[in-house]
Amino acid sequence: MRVTWMGLMVLVIAACSGETAETTTKKTNEPAANTDSLRYPAEVHLQNVRQLTFGGDNAEAYFSYDNKQLVFQRTTKDERIPCDQIFVGDIPGAGEAFEYEMVSTGLGRTTCAYFYPDNQKVIYASTHVADSNCPPEIDRSKIRKYVWPIYDTYEIFVYDPATGEHKQLTDNNYYDAEATLSPKGDKIVFTSTRSGDLELYTMDLDGSNVQQVTDGLGYDGGAFFGPKGEWLVFRASRPATPEKEKEYKDLLAQGMVAPSDMEVYVCRPDGSELKQVTNLGKANWAPFFHPDGERILFSSNHASETGRLFNIFMINVDGTGLQQITFDNEFDAFPMFSFDGKHLVWCSNRNNGDTRDTNIFLADWVENPEE
C-alpha cells in the first residue's frame, strides 16, 4: 500500500462507511493553473508547474506508456467517494481542465493502479469482492503510532475498457496489492503476505507462474520495473533489533505495518543482485527510475528534523549523487517521470489552502538547469 503522509504522520483515509461512490459521473475540475507560482524557487529541475486536481485526496498518479494519460486513486466525501477509487484522465493542454472518470467498480477500497503497455488496460488492487463497503479503519486509540493497514481482502484486478471487464488475477486470503508492470509487457510485480511476511512477487500477465522475489524480514513494497525491465526498485523496512522484529511481527499479525523506517533497494526481477541504495534513516519511499535507468527519484523525510516534511530527492543507483528536487514545506511524494523523460508528475500538499487536500501536479523536467 502506498498512502499519503499528512502533517504529523496523520493517515489520509476518508471515513469509511456503507456509502458507495458514484460510478458513472465524469468529474471536471477548474482549469489547471499554468504558472510557476506553484514552483518553489529552489526547484530548478521543474518548470511550468501545473496543478491538475483541486480538492480531495489524490495520490499515486502514473503515466500511460504513451505519456497521454494518468491513472490515480482518489478519495473525497464531497463526491461520495468515502475511500480510494481508481480514475483515469487525459493529460490536459495548457489552460485546459483535467477531466477524469472512474475505472474501478466504486465498491470496496482500491489502491496502486498502473497502466498496461497497451495504454488501455489498468491493473489495480481492490477489496470489493470480500465486501462492497470500505474496510474498517484502524482504531488509533489503541494503536498509538503511525501505521498503514494491510487488508487481506485486497486482490489484484485488471480493468479492460474495451469490454468493461474487471478480471481478477489473485484469489486468496492474503494481502495482494501494489502491482505494476514491466515495460516489456511480460511480468507483473506485486507485494503479498502469502509467505507470512510482506514480500515482492512476480507473475505472468494472466496471474500464473507466481515467483517470490524477496525474502528478508520486513515490508518490501512499492516496486517498479526499470525502463528496460531488467531491474526492480522498491522500498523496504528491515527491523534490525529483536525489539523491532517483535514489533514488526506483532503489527503484521494485526494487519498493520509501521512505515516510519524504510530505505530504497534495487534487485533483479528474480531477486538476485539485491542492493541497498539509500542509507539515510527515517522514511525513504515511493521510488521510481529515471528513464536513463541510472537514477532514482524517491520521497523522503530524512532532512526534516521533526519528520513531518517530505520532499522528492534523486540519487544514483550506486547511492551517490543525492540531490533534492522539491522544496515543499509539507508533503511531496509519488514522483514519476514520463516515459520520454520530459515531464514529472507527483502528489503534493502545496497550494491546498491550509487543508489536508493532496493534489496532482505536473511539470516539465529540466535536466540541466544551469544551461
Q: If 0-12 CB within 10 Å is exposed, 13-18 middle and 19+ buried, where does residue 71 land?
A: buried
Q: If 0-12 CB within 10 Å is exposed, 13-18 middle and 19+ buried, where does residue 364 land?
A: middle
Structural domains in the chain, sorted by start: 5-30+55-343 (2.120.10.30)
Q: Which residues face 295 on adjacent strands?
A: 316
pLDDT of residue 61: 98
* Average pLDDT of adjacent 10-residue blocks, the chain of 371 residues: 43 32 44 72 97 97 98 94 97 95 98 97 98 92 87 98 98 98 97 98 97 98 98 97 97 95 98 98 98 98 94 98 97 98 98 95 95 79
pLDDT of residue 287: 98
pLDDT of residue 327: 97
DSSP per residue, 92-119: PPTT---EEEE-S-SSS-EEEEEE-TTS
Q: What single DSSP character describes residue 279?
A: -
Q: Is 2 within 8 Å of 111 (Cβ atoms)?
A: yes
- CA separation for the pair 245, 249 (Å, rounded): 6
- CA separation for the pair 225, 236 (Å, rounded): 15
- CA separation for the pair 233, 221 (Å, rounded): 9
Instruction: Give the number of other Cβ atoms within 10 Å of residue 24's Cβ.
Output: 8
Give the Cα-Cα-Cα angle 58, 62, 64 (nearest 5 degrees). Answer: 135
- Polymer length of the chain: 371
pLDDT of residue 55: 96
pLDDT of residue 335: 98
Q: Which residues face 1 on adjacent strands?
A: none
β-pair type (81-90, 99-102): antiparallel
Q: Is 252 within 8 Å of 197 (Cβ atoms)?
A: yes
- CA separation for the pair 349, 7 (Å, rounded): 10
